[in-house]
Amino acid sequence: MRKKRGRVLVVYLLLLVMIILPQSKVISASTLTLVYDGKTVKYTKAQVGFTVNGKNIALNNIPGIIIDDNAMGNYVDIFKTGLQATCSYNSSKKQLTIKKFDKTVVLKLNTKTATVNGKKKTMETSMRSVRFKNEKQTKIMVPVRFVVENLGYTYTWDGKAKKGRIKYNWLELYKDGKWGKYVGTKAKISYNGKVVSDANMPGIIENATVLMDGTKVVTNGLGGSCVYNSKDKTVTVKKEKDSIVYTLGKKTAVVNGQNKQLETAPIRVKNRATGKYYLMLPARFTANELGYVYDWNSKDKISEITDKNSNTPITVTNGSISFRLPDGVKKADVKNTDYYYKKQFSVTIPGNYLDFYKKNTININNKVVTGSKVSVTSAGKTKILFTTSKLQGYKIHISGNDLWIEVGNPKNIYKNIVVLDCGHGGTDPGAQSGGYNEKDVTYAILYRYAKTYFNANTSEIKAYWTRYNDTFVTLSDRAAYANTVGADLFISLHMNSAANTAAKGTEVYYSTSNNTKQKNGLTSQKMASMFEKKLVSAMGTVSRGVKSANYTVIYRNSVPAILVELGFISNSSDRANLVDASFQKKTAKNIYETTKQVFAQYPTGR
């Protein structure tokens, strides 16, 4: 009788343990019976778990397993759910496709050859269909390390914990209804020299504007308030008597009751690493409108917010120039000119203020800026000329009477950069016909007229020209200029010529030797196709198609590069258009608009 009671007690305790313990624990404590490769296997090796940046991936009671010394995991749990990748399995082809950002990995069942972005790679073991017999489930199990590393993540094996640890150091943000990989600059935000931004959610750059975590910076850093209204999607920022009302996605804000334009709209994003949403507000605008001084420290990637002393000129450090504007000078009065070919740029304001700037110091806090010179032009304007030791980009900011300039390498200043190459020049006239030179036509279109669009205040594209006058520039120097200025694109303009005067039309060239796909997906060939299609359509020329050739300016270039043969100067009807000022102006505008389209479709990520 006592023995029977003892047996009942043991059975009761075992049942209690099974009820209390999670089902996944029960499975991991038992021997698995697996069916794969046509065999039934009593699996006694490690039952594997996986983590992403330290967080466990839910495996839904089917653990990872070891096959051929490789940790294998169910693709749905690891990649679709865990990494939020796009996964599709074609059962008829027995093929699995996993996509994440710009990476695509394709595996086939029981095949050690996979493709990564179309290129074949050999794996240590193949993807398997595995039947978990006791659980009555069949899962597609993939070699996790291979897929993880080829998607751009890092992978380490934790032998003690029997876990594959997946990590990434980029920001993965949810915005505009989808997850995306943020590849731009990560900025810190400081107030009076102390970092006040959250390391888990740094500032990000959109449209060349730093967006900061408004709740963290305004509330914890500046001592104000930042309140989000989910119903009307507004963000209200307050500090003492000042208030700013932002609307998510809109480029206008209401500041103390008045509408003001923004450089870029505020957004709400979710950070996958923290699982939290963040209100990202334009840092400079917020700081300035609340009465603070703002400066971008391009060297250390810090948005520096400081208290403002109205009795003294602002002092902006780390790569900036700052000075006061005379009373009465409006923001619209301030003009600037980039003499990049001389490593200089200038700021011009109406009126003679030589005496004003003898009393009010121009502060230079960048060793690359070697000096400034104040003079009065023949038109009676005050010109402040700055000289740098190397070619630099710059951006001017004005708040009230305070003007400050960010100075740095072009890629740290500008969102989009293009090099425009006016074919031929100087002692090289190019093709000649009907008393016209190719060099003069390319110069008129791509410099004289295109400059109006590329240098406009509303332009988001910074343009550099290989020549700005009738000068001879070697082909090698033209090609190398893209690297010199940190360009994203290169466009060379030419006019065609042929012995057969009936030949006419537009053709665009790219080099197969310079056709590597950029991170944003752009290639020289894609760019050539966009320009050929747009130019032919807008200008009404005959299409001669997209062609490849190893012309020096596109072959030896470091960025996606094209050479446009707009028309035949040797053909009378083409020539009549090419030398016509209205046609040239229209072409210049079309080149600008198409360049904008390229950047919009293939953003730089800066």
Q: Six-digit token pair at 434?
A: 């009907």
What is the CATH code for 27-167? 3.30.457.10
3-state secondary structure 543-605: EEEEEECCCHHHHCCCCCEEEEEEEECCCHHHHHHHCCHHHHHHHHHHHHHHHHHHHHHCCCC
In this predicted structure, what is the pLDDT of residue 399?
A: 81
Beta bridge partners of 191: 194, 305
Collect contacts of 220-225 with beta carbons under 8 A, ≥24 apart: 220/196, 221/189, 221/191, 221/196, 221/197, 221/305, 222/191, 222/196, 222/290, 222/292, 222/305, 224/290
Those residues with Cβ within 8 angstroms of residue 438's Cβ, 6 or more apart along the chain or in another chain: 423, 424, 429, 430, 431, 432, 494, 495, 497, 569
Q: What burial class does residue 238 get, using C-beta atoms within 10 Å of its C-beta: 0-12 exposed, 13-18 middle, 19+ buried?
A: middle
Give me the residue spans of the domains in the chain: 27-167, 175-305, 324-408, 416-601
Please answer whether residues 209 and 263 qualify as being in contact, where contact means their C-beta atoms are separated by less than 8 angstroms: yes
**Cβ(486)–Cβ(480) below 8 Å:** no
Measured distance CA(485)–CA(464) in Å, rounded = 8
CA distance 475 to 466: 10
H helix runs in 278-380, sequence order: 283-289, 354-359
Residues of the chain with pLDDT under 50: 1-4, 8-29, 310-319
What is the b/e burial string over 9-40, where b = at least 16 CB atoms within 10 angstroms of the residue's CB? eeeeeeeeeeeeeeebeebbeeebebebeeee
pLDDT of residue 30: 64
- Distance between CA 238 and CA 228 in Å, rounded? 12
DSSP 64: B
User: What would the two tokens of residue 112 be?
Assistant: 């050690």
Structural class in CATH, domain 416-601: alpha beta
Tokens of 197: 């931004």
Could you list the beta-strand ranges (E) of 353-415: 363-364, 369-376, 381-388, 393-399, 402-408
pLDDT of residue 68: 94
Helices (H), 140-295: 144-150, 214, 283-289
Tokens 């943020």 sit on residue? 182
CATH of domain 175-305: 3.30.457.10
Closest CA to 551 of 606, 466, 476, 604: 476
> Can 27-167 and 175-305 be said to share one CATH topology?
yes
Which pTM does this prediction carry?
0.52
Output the six-digit token pair for 593. Answer: 């608009």
DSSP code per residue over 78-110: IIIIIS--EEEEETTTTEEEEEETTEEEEEEBT
Could you tell me if 56 and 22 are in contact, meaning their C-beta atoms sit under 8 angstroms apart? no
CA separation for the pair 129, 77 (Å, rounded): 15
Phi, psi of 554 (to 5 degrees): -105, -30
Pairing of strands 416-422, 489-496: parallel
